[in-house]
Structure 1
Amino acid sequence: MRTVTSEMNGEPRALARTTSTPKTGRNSDRAAEGSKSLRRALLLLRTVAAHDDRGMRLTELASSTHMHTTTTHRLLSALQDERMISFDPNTKLYKLGLEMLLFAESAHRMTIKDQLHQVLVALAQDCGEDVHSIVPAGDDHVLIDKVEGTELGRITSPAIGCRRPIGVGAGSIALLTAISDAEARSLYERNLPHLANIRWTTPDRIWRDIVAARRRGFSVVKGQLLKDATAISVAALNNVGEPVASVTVFGPNSRLGRSKYDLIADRIRQQIVATGKFHTPLCSPS
Protein backbone atom coordinates (compact mmCIF):
# COMPACT_ATOMS: atom_id res chain seq x y z
CA MET A 1 0.00 0.00 0.00
CA ARG A 2 1.27 3.48 -0.91
CA THR A 3 0.52 6.48 1.36
CA VAL A 4 -0.12 9.81 -0.34
CA THR A 5 -0.58 13.01 1.65
CA SER A 6 -3.16 15.52 0.64
CA GLU A 7 -3.91 18.98 2.02
CA MET A 8 -7.51 19.12 3.18
CA ASN A 9 -8.75 21.88 5.49
CA GLY A 10 -5.15 22.76 6.22
CA GLU A 11 -4.27 19.32 7.61
CA PRO A 12 -2.37 16.54 5.86
CA ARG A 13 -4.41 13.37 5.30
CA ALA A 14 -3.24 9.87 4.41
CA LEU A 15 -4.83 8.32 1.32
CA ALA A 16 -4.64 4.55 0.83
CA ARG A 17 -4.09 3.35 -2.76
CA THR A 18 -3.69 -0.30 -3.61
CA THR A 19 -1.64 -1.39 -6.61
CA SER A 20 -3.30 -4.19 -8.58
CA THR A 21 -1.31 -7.33 -9.26
CA PRO A 22 -1.58 -8.99 -12.73
CA LYS A 23 -3.74 -12.08 -12.62
CA THR A 24 -2.02 -15.34 -13.18
CA GLY A 25 -3.00 -18.93 -12.65
CA ARG A 26 -5.94 -20.42 -14.50
CA ASN A 27 -5.66 -18.32 -17.73
CA SER A 28 -1.93 -18.86 -18.09
CA ASP A 29 -2.38 -22.58 -17.40
CA ARG A 30 -4.96 -22.79 -20.18
CA ALA A 31 -2.66 -20.96 -22.59
CA ALA A 32 0.22 -23.29 -21.75
CA GLU A 33 -1.99 -26.35 -22.22
CA GLY A 34 -3.27 -25.03 -25.56
CA SER A 35 0.28 -24.39 -26.75
CA LYS A 36 1.30 -27.89 -25.69
CA SER A 37 -1.64 -29.46 -27.57
CA LEU A 38 -0.81 -27.45 -30.68
CA ARG A 39 2.81 -28.61 -30.63
CA ARG A 40 1.68 -32.22 -30.20
CA ALA A 41 -0.78 -31.92 -33.11
CA LEU A 42 1.95 -30.46 -35.34
CA LEU A 43 4.29 -33.28 -34.32
CA LEU A 44 1.63 -35.79 -35.37
CA LEU A 45 1.18 -34.03 -38.72
CA ARG A 46 4.92 -34.10 -39.40
CA THR A 47 5.10 -37.77 -38.45
CA VAL A 48 2.17 -38.76 -40.67
CA ALA A 49 3.63 -36.69 -43.54
CA ALA A 50 6.99 -38.47 -43.23
CA HIS A 51 5.25 -41.84 -43.70
CA ASP A 52 2.38 -40.77 -45.97
CA ASP A 53 3.33 -43.22 -48.70
CA ARG A 54 2.39 -46.22 -46.54
CA GLY A 55 0.38 -44.68 -43.70
CA MET A 56 0.70 -45.28 -39.95
CA ARG A 57 -1.40 -47.01 -37.29
CA LEU A 58 -2.44 -45.39 -34.03
CA THR A 59 0.00 -47.39 -31.93
CA GLU A 60 2.87 -46.54 -34.29
CA LEU A 61 2.09 -42.84 -34.08
CA ALA A 62 1.83 -42.93 -30.29
CA SER A 63 5.16 -44.72 -30.04
CA SER A 64 6.91 -42.48 -32.57
CA THR A 65 5.75 -39.26 -30.88
CA HIS A 66 6.13 -40.55 -27.28
CA MET A 67 2.51 -39.76 -26.47
CA HIS A 68 -0.10 -41.80 -24.65
CA THR A 69 -2.42 -43.69 -27.02
CA THR A 70 -5.48 -41.88 -25.66
CA THR A 71 -3.90 -38.45 -26.23
CA THR A 72 -2.75 -39.48 -29.70
CA HIS A 73 -6.22 -40.69 -30.65
CA ARG A 74 -7.85 -37.49 -29.36
CA LEU A 75 -5.54 -35.25 -31.37
CA LEU A 76 -5.83 -37.43 -34.48
CA SER A 77 -9.64 -37.24 -34.24
CA ALA A 78 -9.49 -33.45 -34.09
CA LEU A 79 -7.12 -33.34 -37.09
CA GLN A 80 -9.41 -35.74 -38.93
CA ASP A 81 -12.42 -33.48 -38.24
CA GLU A 82 -10.48 -30.62 -39.86
CA ARG A 83 -9.54 -32.85 -42.84
CA MET A 84 -5.85 -32.47 -42.05
CA ILE A 85 -5.55 -36.23 -41.61
CA SER A 86 -7.51 -39.10 -43.17
CA PHE A 87 -8.24 -42.50 -41.64
CA ASP A 88 -8.98 -45.71 -43.52
CA PRO A 89 -11.24 -47.89 -41.33
CA ASN A 90 -10.32 -50.98 -43.34
CA THR A 91 -6.54 -50.75 -43.05
CA LYS A 92 -6.57 -48.70 -39.80
CA LEU A 93 -3.99 -46.39 -41.38
CA TYR A 94 -3.68 -42.63 -40.97
CA LYS A 95 -2.49 -40.51 -43.92
CA LEU A 96 -2.51 -36.84 -44.83
CA GLY A 97 -5.97 -35.42 -45.46
CA LEU A 98 -7.39 -33.26 -48.21
CA GLU A 99 -6.64 -29.94 -46.49
CA MET A 100 -2.95 -30.78 -46.13
CA LEU A 101 -2.81 -31.81 -49.79
CA LEU A 102 -4.40 -28.47 -50.70
CA PHE A 103 -1.76 -26.67 -48.64
CA ALA A 104 0.93 -28.56 -50.53
CA GLU A 105 -0.70 -27.66 -53.83
CA SER A 106 -0.81 -23.99 -52.84
CA ALA A 107 2.87 -24.05 -51.90
CA HIS A 108 3.67 -25.66 -55.28
CA ARG A 109 1.75 -22.90 -57.05
CA MET A 110 3.61 -20.20 -55.16
CA THR A 111 6.95 -21.76 -56.11
CA ILE A 112 6.00 -21.75 -59.79
CA LYS A 113 4.67 -18.21 -59.48
CA ASP A 114 8.01 -17.03 -58.08
CA GLN A 115 9.99 -18.90 -60.74
CA LEU A 116 7.97 -17.39 -63.59
CA HIS A 117 7.41 -13.87 -62.28
CA GLN A 118 10.46 -12.36 -63.99
CA VAL A 119 9.33 -14.00 -67.24
CA LEU A 120 6.10 -12.01 -66.99
CA VAL A 121 7.96 -8.80 -66.16
CA ALA A 122 10.32 -9.18 -69.13
CA LEU A 123 7.51 -9.98 -71.58
CA ALA A 124 5.33 -7.10 -70.36
CA GLN A 125 8.21 -4.70 -70.99
CA ASP A 126 9.12 -6.31 -74.32
CA CYS A 127 5.61 -6.70 -75.76
CA GLY A 128 3.90 -3.84 -73.93
CA GLU A 129 0.83 -5.99 -73.21
CA ASP A 130 -0.55 -7.64 -70.08
CA VAL A 131 1.06 -11.00 -69.32
CA HIS A 132 -0.23 -13.66 -66.94
CA SER A 133 0.53 -17.20 -65.84
CA ILE A 134 -1.79 -20.06 -64.93
CA VAL A 135 -1.33 -23.50 -63.39
CA PRO A 136 -3.47 -26.64 -63.70
CA ALA A 137 -5.69 -27.52 -60.72
CA GLY A 138 -7.27 -30.89 -61.40
CA ASP A 139 -9.53 -30.42 -64.43
CA ASP A 140 -9.42 -26.63 -63.95
CA HIS A 141 -6.78 -23.93 -64.18
CA VAL A 142 -6.04 -21.02 -61.83
CA LEU A 143 -4.50 -17.68 -62.79
CA ILE A 144 -1.68 -17.18 -60.27
CA ASP A 145 0.24 -14.09 -61.43
CA LYS A 146 -0.10 -11.08 -63.70
CA VAL A 147 2.01 -8.12 -64.84
CA GLU A 148 0.53 -5.12 -66.63
CA GLY A 149 2.04 -3.93 -69.88
CA THR A 150 3.22 -0.47 -70.88
CA GLU A 151 1.17 0.18 -74.03
CA LEU A 152 -1.66 2.70 -74.04
CA GLY A 153 -5.08 1.27 -74.73
CA ARG A 154 -4.27 -2.13 -73.24
CA ILE A 155 -6.95 -4.76 -72.77
CA THR A 156 -7.05 -5.92 -69.17
CA SER A 157 -6.61 -9.67 -68.77
CA PRO A 158 -8.50 -11.82 -66.21
CA ALA A 159 -7.83 -11.27 -62.50
CA ILE A 160 -5.46 -13.23 -60.27
CA GLY A 161 -7.32 -16.12 -58.66
CA CYS A 162 -9.64 -16.59 -61.64
CA ARG A 163 -10.47 -20.31 -61.96
CA ARG A 164 -12.00 -21.91 -65.06
CA PRO A 165 -12.19 -25.38 -66.67
CA ILE A 166 -9.16 -26.44 -68.67
CA GLY A 167 -9.94 -25.68 -72.30
CA VAL A 168 -11.24 -22.17 -71.62
CA GLY A 169 -8.72 -19.56 -72.77
CA ALA A 170 -5.36 -19.63 -74.52
CA GLY A 171 -3.32 -20.37 -71.38
CA SER A 172 -5.54 -23.30 -70.54
CA ILE A 173 -5.37 -24.71 -74.06
CA ALA A 174 -1.57 -24.34 -74.05
CA LEU A 175 -1.45 -26.86 -71.18
CA LEU A 176 -2.89 -29.44 -73.60
CA THR A 177 -0.08 -29.05 -76.14
CA ALA A 178 2.36 -31.25 -74.18
CA ILE A 179 0.24 -34.30 -73.35
CA SER A 180 -0.82 -37.25 -75.48
CA ASP A 181 -3.77 -37.15 -77.86
CA ALA A 182 -5.68 -39.56 -75.62
CA GLU A 183 -5.06 -37.48 -72.48
CA ALA A 184 -6.06 -34.24 -74.20
CA ARG A 185 -9.27 -35.76 -75.58
CA SER A 186 -10.14 -37.36 -72.23
CA LEU A 187 -9.72 -34.09 -70.32
CA TYR A 188 -11.74 -32.20 -72.93
CA GLU A 189 -14.59 -34.72 -72.74
CA ARG A 190 -14.62 -34.69 -68.92
CA ASN A 191 -15.01 -30.92 -69.02
CA LEU A 192 -17.69 -30.84 -71.73
CA PRO A 193 -20.57 -30.15 -69.28
CA HIS A 194 -18.66 -27.09 -68.02
CA LEU A 195 -17.45 -25.96 -71.43
CA ALA A 196 -21.03 -25.96 -72.71
CA ASN A 197 -21.86 -23.23 -70.17
CA ILE A 198 -19.19 -20.78 -71.35
CA ARG A 199 -20.97 -17.78 -72.90
CA TRP A 200 -18.29 -16.51 -75.28
CA THR A 201 -17.35 -19.72 -77.09
CA THR A 202 -18.55 -23.26 -77.84
CA PRO A 203 -17.16 -26.74 -77.16
CA ASP A 204 -16.60 -27.29 -80.89
CA ARG A 205 -14.61 -24.10 -81.22
CA ILE A 206 -12.57 -25.00 -78.14
CA TRP A 207 -11.68 -28.38 -79.64
CA ARG A 208 -10.61 -26.72 -82.92
CA ASP A 209 -8.38 -24.37 -80.92
CA ILE A 210 -6.91 -27.36 -79.05
CA VAL A 211 -6.12 -29.21 -82.28
CA ALA A 212 -4.50 -26.10 -83.81
CA ALA A 213 -2.45 -25.45 -80.66
CA ARG A 214 -1.17 -29.02 -80.50
CA ARG A 215 -0.10 -28.78 -84.15
CA ARG A 216 1.98 -25.62 -83.73
CA GLY A 217 3.12 -26.02 -80.09
CA PHE A 218 1.42 -22.88 -78.72
CA SER A 219 -2.14 -21.61 -78.48
CA VAL A 220 -3.94 -18.60 -79.91
CA VAL A 221 -7.44 -17.52 -78.91
CA LYS A 222 -8.91 -14.54 -80.72
CA GLY A 223 -12.13 -12.59 -80.15
CA GLN A 224 -13.67 -14.86 -77.52
CA LEU A 225 -13.68 -13.49 -73.97
CA LEU A 226 -13.47 -10.02 -75.54
CA LYS A 227 -14.21 -9.41 -79.22
CA ASP A 228 -11.18 -7.16 -79.74
CA ALA A 229 -8.71 -9.32 -77.76
CA THR A 230 -6.11 -11.91 -78.76
CA ALA A 231 -4.25 -14.19 -76.36
CA ILE A 232 -1.06 -16.10 -77.25
CA SER A 233 0.23 -18.71 -74.81
CA VAL A 234 3.04 -21.24 -74.36
CA ALA A 235 3.21 -24.04 -71.81
CA ALA A 236 6.03 -24.34 -69.27
CA LEU A 237 7.11 -27.97 -68.80
CA ASN A 238 9.00 -29.49 -65.88
CA ASN A 239 12.05 -31.71 -66.28
CA VAL A 240 9.95 -34.77 -67.10
CA GLY A 241 7.89 -32.98 -69.74
CA GLU A 242 4.72 -32.36 -67.73
CA PRO A 243 2.92 -29.03 -68.28
CA VAL A 244 2.99 -27.26 -64.90
CA ALA A 245 2.05 -23.75 -66.05
CA SER A 246 1.58 -21.55 -69.09
CA VAL A 247 2.46 -17.94 -69.87
CA THR A 248 0.05 -15.78 -71.88
CA VAL A 249 0.38 -12.42 -73.64
CA PHE A 250 -3.02 -10.72 -73.91
CA GLY A 251 -3.74 -7.65 -76.04
CA PRO A 252 -5.84 -6.02 -78.77
CA ASN A 253 -6.22 -7.70 -82.15
CA SER A 254 -4.67 -4.66 -83.85
CA ARG A 255 -1.33 -5.22 -82.10
CA LEU A 256 -1.40 -9.04 -81.91
CA GLY A 257 -2.36 -9.86 -85.47
CA ARG A 258 -1.64 -13.12 -87.27
CA SER A 259 1.80 -11.93 -88.37
CA LYS A 260 2.79 -11.60 -84.69
CA TYR A 261 1.73 -15.06 -83.50
CA ASP A 262 5.03 -16.88 -84.07
CA LEU A 263 7.11 -13.88 -82.96
CA ILE A 264 5.26 -13.54 -79.62
CA ALA A 265 5.30 -17.30 -79.04
CA ASP A 266 9.06 -17.39 -79.63
CA ARG A 267 9.59 -14.56 -77.13
CA ILE A 268 7.53 -16.40 -74.53
CA ARG A 269 9.52 -19.61 -75.15
CA GLN A 270 12.85 -17.81 -74.83
CA GLN A 271 11.90 -16.23 -71.52
CA ILE A 272 10.54 -19.49 -70.07
CA VAL A 273 13.65 -21.46 -71.05
CA ALA A 274 15.92 -18.67 -69.75
CA THR A 275 14.74 -19.40 -66.19
CA GLY A 276 16.66 -22.68 -66.29
CA LYS A 277 13.68 -24.28 -64.53
CA PHE A 278 11.40 -25.14 -67.45
CA HIS A 279 11.32 -26.01 -71.11
CA THR A 280 8.57 -25.70 -73.72
CA PRO A 281 6.83 -27.81 -76.38
CA LEU A 282 8.09 -27.04 -79.86
CA CYS A 283 5.75 -29.20 -81.87
CA SER A 284 2.75 -31.49 -81.57
CA PRO A 285 3.47 -34.41 -79.18
CA SER A 286 3.54 -37.86 -80.74
Structure 2
Amino acid sequence: MPENGGASVQTIDRAASVLRVLASGPSEGLRLADVTAAVGLGKATAHRLLHGLLDVGFVELDTASKRYALGYELFVLGAAARRFQIVDMARPALARLAAGTGDTVYLSVRDGDQALCVDRSTGHYPIRTLTLDVGDRRPLGVGAGSLALLAFQDEAEIARILRDDHAARSPFERFAADRLRDMIRITRATGHAFNDGYIVGAMAAVGVPVLDETGKAVAALSIAAIRERMQEARRAELAEALRSEADRLSRMLATNRPDETGAEQTREELS
Protein backbone atom coordinates (compact mmCIF):
# COMPACT_ATOMS: atom_id res chain seq x y z
CA MET A 1 0.00 0.00 0.00
CA PRO A 2 1.48 3.40 -0.95
CA GLU A 3 2.69 5.62 1.85
CA ASN A 4 0.66 8.73 2.54
CA GLY A 5 2.14 12.16 1.93
CA GLY A 6 3.30 12.73 5.51
CA ALA A 7 5.01 9.36 5.73
CA SER A 8 6.73 9.91 2.38
CA VAL A 9 8.12 13.27 3.50
CA GLN A 10 9.31 11.69 6.74
CA THR A 11 11.09 8.91 4.83
CA ILE A 12 12.82 11.43 2.57
CA ASP A 13 13.87 13.49 5.57
CA ARG A 14 15.30 10.42 7.31
CA ALA A 15 17.12 9.28 4.17
CA ALA A 16 18.64 12.74 3.80
CA SER A 17 19.80 12.61 7.43
CA VAL A 18 21.48 9.26 6.78
CA LEU A 19 23.27 10.64 3.72
CA ARG A 20 24.48 13.70 5.66
CA VAL A 21 25.86 11.48 8.42
CA LEU A 22 27.73 9.36 5.88
CA ALA A 23 29.03 12.47 4.13
CA SER A 24 30.49 13.83 7.35
CA GLY A 25 31.88 10.48 8.47
CA PRO A 26 35.29 8.90 7.78
CA SER A 27 36.22 7.91 4.23
CA GLU A 28 36.10 4.22 5.13
CA GLY A 29 32.42 4.55 6.03
CA LEU A 30 30.28 3.89 9.10
CA ARG A 31 28.81 0.76 10.64
CA LEU A 32 25.08 0.39 11.12
CA ALA A 33 25.40 1.09 14.84
CA ASP A 34 27.26 4.35 14.10
CA VAL A 35 24.55 5.51 11.69
CA THR A 36 21.78 4.53 14.11
CA ALA A 37 23.37 6.48 16.94
CA ALA A 38 24.11 9.56 14.83
CA VAL A 39 20.66 9.80 13.24
CA GLY A 40 18.68 8.74 16.29
CA LEU A 41 16.69 6.02 14.54
CA GLY A 42 15.95 2.46 15.49
CA LYS A 43 18.25 -0.19 14.11
CA ALA A 44 15.55 -1.73 11.88
CA THR A 45 14.58 1.67 10.42
CA ALA A 46 18.18 2.69 9.76
CA HIS A 47 18.90 -0.70 8.17
CA ARG A 48 15.85 -0.38 5.89
CA LEU A 49 16.83 3.14 4.82
CA LEU A 50 20.45 2.17 4.16
CA HIS A 51 19.47 -0.76 1.99
CA GLY A 52 16.94 1.32 0.10
CA LEU A 53 19.73 3.81 -0.63
CA LEU A 54 22.02 0.90 -1.47
CA ASP A 55 19.54 -0.35 -4.08
CA VAL A 56 19.65 2.95 -6.00
CA GLY A 57 23.42 3.42 -5.72
CA PHE A 58 23.38 6.33 -3.27
CA VAL A 59 25.12 4.18 -0.66
CA GLU A 60 27.78 1.47 -0.95
CA LEU A 61 28.43 -1.37 1.51
CA ASP A 62 31.83 -2.91 2.15
CA THR A 63 30.78 -6.46 2.93
CA ALA A 64 34.09 -7.25 4.63
CA SER A 65 34.06 -4.37 7.12
CA LYS A 66 30.24 -3.97 7.21
CA ARG A 67 30.68 -0.26 6.69
CA TYR A 68 28.41 2.00 4.65
CA ALA A 69 29.67 4.94 2.59
CA LEU A 70 28.30 7.33 -0.03
CA GLY A 71 27.80 5.67 -3.42
CA TYR A 72 28.93 6.56 -6.91
CA GLU A 73 25.44 7.62 -8.04
CA LEU A 74 25.60 10.60 -5.67
CA PHE A 75 28.85 11.62 -7.32
CA VAL A 76 27.14 11.43 -10.72
CA LEU A 77 24.25 13.61 -9.55
CA GLY A 78 26.60 16.10 -7.93
CA ALA A 79 28.73 16.29 -11.04
CA ALA A 80 25.65 16.89 -13.18
CA ALA A 81 24.50 19.77 -10.97
CA ARG A 82 27.97 21.29 -10.91
CA ARG A 83 28.29 20.90 -14.68
CA PHE A 84 25.47 23.36 -15.35
CA GLN A 85 26.82 25.78 -12.76
CA ILE A 86 30.35 25.77 -14.10
CA VAL A 87 29.32 26.45 -17.71
CA ASP A 88 27.82 29.81 -16.71
CA MET A 89 30.71 30.63 -14.39
CA ALA A 90 33.35 29.76 -16.98
CA ARG A 91 31.88 31.53 -19.99
CA PRO A 92 33.65 34.88 -19.33
CA ALA A 93 36.94 33.02 -18.81
CA LEU A 94 36.59 31.26 -22.16
CA ALA A 95 35.86 34.56 -23.87
CA ARG A 96 38.90 36.24 -22.26
CA LEU A 97 41.22 33.38 -23.19
CA ALA A 98 39.96 33.21 -26.78
CA ALA A 99 40.31 36.99 -27.21
CA GLY A 100 43.74 37.10 -25.59
CA THR A 101 45.25 34.13 -27.44
CA GLY A 102 43.38 34.11 -30.74
CA ASP A 103 42.94 30.36 -30.43
CA THR A 104 40.08 27.99 -29.59
CA VAL A 105 39.30 27.42 -25.92
CA TYR A 106 37.36 24.47 -24.52
CA LEU A 107 35.64 23.68 -21.24
CA SER A 108 35.30 19.99 -20.39
CA VAL A 109 33.81 18.18 -17.41
CA ARG A 110 33.94 14.61 -16.25
CA ASP A 111 30.94 12.45 -17.12
CA GLY A 112 31.57 8.97 -15.75
CA ASP A 113 34.74 7.71 -17.44
CA GLN A 114 34.50 10.26 -20.23
CA ALA A 115 35.36 13.90 -20.73
CA LEU A 116 32.41 15.89 -22.03
CA CYS A 117 32.91 19.17 -23.91
CA VAL A 118 30.33 21.59 -22.49
CA ASP A 119 31.45 24.91 -24.00
CA ARG A 120 33.80 26.37 -26.59
CA SER A 121 34.97 29.82 -27.61
CA THR A 122 36.91 30.64 -30.79
CA GLY A 123 39.55 33.32 -31.20
CA HIS A 124 40.46 35.54 -34.12
CA TYR A 125 43.32 33.51 -35.60
CA PRO A 126 42.26 32.54 -39.16
CA ILE A 127 43.17 28.84 -38.82
CA ARG A 128 40.74 27.47 -36.26
CA THR A 129 41.18 24.16 -34.46
CA LEU A 130 37.61 22.99 -34.01
CA THR A 131 38.54 19.46 -32.96
CA LEU A 132 35.63 19.20 -30.48
CA ASP A 133 32.03 20.31 -30.68
CA VAL A 134 29.94 21.03 -27.60
CA GLY A 135 28.49 17.67 -26.59
CA ASP A 136 31.43 15.61 -27.89
CA ARG A 137 32.91 13.00 -25.56
CA ARG A 138 36.29 11.34 -25.30
CA PRO A 139 37.62 8.68 -22.92
CA LEU A 140 39.33 10.21 -19.91
CA GLY A 141 42.98 10.82 -20.75
CA VAL A 142 42.48 11.29 -24.49
CA GLY A 143 43.26 14.93 -25.34
CA ALA A 144 44.67 17.80 -23.31
CA GLY A 145 41.55 18.72 -21.34
CA SER A 146 40.62 15.08 -20.83
CA LEU A 147 44.14 14.26 -19.63
CA ALA A 148 44.05 17.17 -17.17
CA LEU A 149 40.79 15.76 -15.80
CA LEU A 150 42.22 12.26 -15.40
CA ALA A 151 45.59 13.23 -13.95
CA PHE A 152 44.00 15.00 -10.99
CA GLN A 153 41.79 12.16 -9.77
CA ASP A 154 42.85 10.00 -6.85
CA GLU A 155 45.28 7.14 -7.46
CA ALA A 156 42.73 4.34 -7.05
CA GLU A 157 40.37 5.96 -9.55
CA ILE A 158 43.14 6.49 -12.09
CA ALA A 159 44.21 2.86 -11.75
CA ARG A 160 40.65 1.65 -12.26
CA ILE A 161 40.13 3.79 -15.36
CA LEU A 162 43.42 2.72 -16.93
CA ARG A 163 42.55 -0.91 -16.23
CA ASP A 164 38.89 -0.93 -17.27
CA ASP A 165 38.68 1.60 -20.11
CA HIS A 166 41.09 0.01 -22.60
CA ALA A 167 38.41 -0.68 -25.24
CA ALA A 168 37.18 2.92 -25.24
CA ARG A 169 40.74 4.19 -25.79
CA SER A 170 41.64 1.63 -28.46
CA PRO A 171 40.80 3.95 -31.43
CA PHE A 172 43.39 6.39 -30.04
CA GLU A 173 46.66 4.52 -30.50
CA ARG A 174 48.83 7.13 -28.76
CA PHE A 175 46.91 6.79 -25.49
CA ALA A 176 47.64 3.22 -24.38
CA ALA A 177 47.70 2.70 -20.61
CA ASP A 178 51.50 2.59 -20.26
CA ARG A 179 51.94 5.80 -22.19
CA LEU A 180 49.07 7.45 -20.34
CA ARG A 181 50.79 6.71 -17.02
CA ASP A 182 53.81 8.69 -18.25
CA MET A 183 51.56 11.50 -19.46
CA ILE A 184 49.79 11.62 -16.09
CA ARG A 185 53.14 11.82 -14.26
CA ILE A 186 54.31 14.70 -16.47
CA THR A 187 50.96 16.48 -16.22
CA ARG A 188 51.06 16.35 -12.43
CA ALA A 189 54.66 17.56 -12.35
CA THR A 190 54.06 20.54 -14.67
CA GLY A 191 50.47 21.31 -13.66
CA HIS A 192 49.26 21.15 -17.25
CA ALA A 193 48.58 18.51 -19.93
CA PHE A 194 49.98 18.67 -23.45
CA ASN A 195 48.67 16.91 -26.54
CA ASP A 196 51.32 17.24 -29.24
CA GLY A 197 49.31 16.21 -32.27
CA TYR A 198 48.40 12.79 -30.86
CA ILE A 199 44.80 12.92 -32.16
CA VAL A 200 44.99 15.25 -35.17
CA GLY A 201 48.56 15.45 -36.40
CA ALA A 202 48.60 19.14 -37.29
CA MET A 203 46.88 20.26 -34.08
CA ALA A 204 48.20 20.57 -30.53
CA ALA A 205 46.58 21.56 -27.25
CA VAL A 206 47.39 22.41 -23.66
CA GLY A 207 44.98 21.89 -20.77
CA VAL A 208 44.75 22.54 -17.02
CA PRO A 209 42.40 21.19 -14.35
CA VAL A 210 39.78 23.13 -12.42
CA LEU A 211 40.14 21.70 -8.92
CA ASP A 212 37.59 21.36 -6.13
CA GLU A 213 38.37 21.95 -2.47
CA THR A 214 39.87 18.44 -2.16
CA GLY A 215 42.30 18.93 -5.05
CA LYS A 216 40.33 16.72 -7.45
CA ALA A 217 39.62 17.89 -11.01
CA VAL A 218 35.96 18.66 -11.68
CA ALA A 219 36.54 20.40 -15.02
CA ALA A 220 39.32 21.37 -17.40
CA LEU A 221 40.16 24.37 -19.54
CA SER A 222 42.17 23.77 -22.71
CA ILE A 223 43.47 25.73 -25.69
CA ALA A 224 43.95 24.14 -29.11
CA ALA A 225 45.95 25.55 -32.01
CA ILE A 226 47.98 24.46 -35.00
CA ARG A 227 51.27 22.91 -33.85
CA GLU A 228 53.30 25.83 -35.20
CA ARG A 229 51.61 28.00 -32.56
CA MET A 230 52.43 25.56 -29.73
CA GLN A 231 56.19 25.97 -29.47
CA GLU A 232 57.60 25.57 -25.97
CA ALA A 233 57.78 29.24 -24.95
CA ARG A 234 54.28 30.08 -26.11
CA ARG A 235 52.94 26.84 -24.65
CA ALA A 236 54.23 27.90 -21.23
CA GLU A 237 52.50 31.26 -21.58
CA LEU A 238 49.23 29.59 -22.58
CA ALA A 239 49.46 27.19 -19.64
CA GLU A 240 49.95 30.12 -17.26
CA ALA A 241 46.95 31.98 -18.71
CA LEU A 242 44.83 28.84 -18.41
CA ARG A 243 46.00 28.21 -14.85
CA SER A 244 45.07 31.74 -13.80
CA GLU A 245 41.52 31.31 -15.09
CA ALA A 246 41.23 27.78 -13.69
CA ASP A 247 42.29 28.98 -10.23
CA ARG A 248 39.67 31.72 -10.43
CA LEU A 249 37.01 29.16 -11.34
CA SER A 250 38.05 26.95 -8.43
CA ARG A 251 37.52 29.85 -6.05
CA MET A 252 34.14 30.61 -7.59
CA LEU A 253 33.00 27.01 -7.21
CA ALA A 254 34.20 26.90 -3.61
CA THR A 255 32.18 30.00 -2.69
CA ASN A 256 29.30 29.22 -5.08
CA ARG A 257 29.28 32.74 -6.45
CA PRO A 258 30.97 34.74 -9.24
CA ASP A 259 34.39 36.16 -8.51
CA GLU A 260 33.91 39.67 -7.15
CA THR A 261 37.52 40.76 -7.49
CA GLY A 262 37.09 41.30 -11.22
CA ALA A 263 39.01 39.39 -13.85
CA GLU A 264 42.18 41.02 -15.10
CA GLN A 265 42.22 41.41 -18.83
CA THR A 266 45.05 39.79 -20.72
CA ARG A 267 47.76 42.43 -20.77
CA GLU A 268 49.22 41.37 -24.04
CA GLU A 269 47.93 39.00 -26.64
CA LEU A 270 49.64 35.64 -26.95
CA SER A 271 48.78 35.32 -30.61
**Aligned amino acid, residue 273 of structure 1:** S
Q: CA deviation at 1:100?
A: 2.4
Partner of 1:146: 119
Structure 1 residue 162 and structure 2 residue 162: aligned?
Answer: no
Partner of 1:219: 194
Partner of 2:30: 56
Gaps of 5+ in 2: 251-271
Q: CA deviation at 1:233?
A: 0.3
Gaps of 5+ in 1: 1-25, 279-286
Structure 1 residue 74 and structure 2 residue 48: aligned?
Answer: yes
Give the helix-richer structure, 1 or 2: 2
**CA–CA distance in 2 between the matches of 1:92 and 1:202?**
38
Pair 82,52 (structure 1): closer, same or farther in 2 beyond 3 Å = farther
Q: Is the 8 A contact 2:152 2:216 kept in 1?
A: yes
Pair 75,202 (structure 1): closer, same or farther in 2 beyond 3 Å = closer
Q: CA deviation at 1:169?
A: 1.9
Q: Is the 8 A contact 2:205 2:230 kept in 1?
A: no
TM-score with structure 2 length normalisation? 0.63
Partner of 2:243: 272
Structure of greater Rg: 1
Q: Is the 8 A contact 1:165 1:191 kept in 2?
A: no
The CA deviation string for residues 196-230 of structure 1, in whole angstroms up to 9 with x for no partner, is 621575759x67x949x7698652433x5445x51
> Which of 232, 257, 260 in structure 1 is aligned with 2:228?
257
Q: CA deviation at 1:266?
A: 0.6
**CA–CA distance in 2 between the matches of 1:47 and 1:187?**
27
Cα RMSD after superposing both structures: 4.8
Pairs within 5 Å for 1:77-226: 77-104=51-78, 117-134=91-108, 140=113, 142-151=115-124, 154-158=128-132, 159-160=134-135, 162-166=137-141, 168-173=142-147, 190=163, 193-194=166-167, 197-198=170-171, 203=176, 210=183, 219-222=194-197, 225-226=199-200
**CA–CA distance in 1 between the matches of 2:140 and 2:6?**
47
Q: Is the 8 A contact 1:169 1:221 kept in 2?
A: no
Identity of aligned residues (%): 22
Q: Is the 8 A contact 2:210 2:246 kept in 1?
A: no
The CA deviation string for residues 162-182 of structure 1, in whole angstroms up to 9 with x for no partner, is 13141x223345678999xxx
Q: Is the 8 A contact 2:94 2:106 kept in 1?
A: yes
Pair 187,246 (structure 1): closer, same or farther in 2 beyond 3 Å = farther
**CA–CA distance in 2 between the matches of 1:146 and 1:178?**
21
Partner of 1:20: none
**Aligned amino acid, residue 11 of structure 2:** S
Partner of 1:23: none
3-state DSSP of counterpart to 1:67: coil
Partner of 1:22: none
Pair 247,191 (structure 1): closer, same or farther in 2 beyond 3 Å = farther
Pair 129,190 (structure 1): closer, same or farther in 2 beyond 3 Å = same
TM-score with structure 1 length normalisation? 0.60
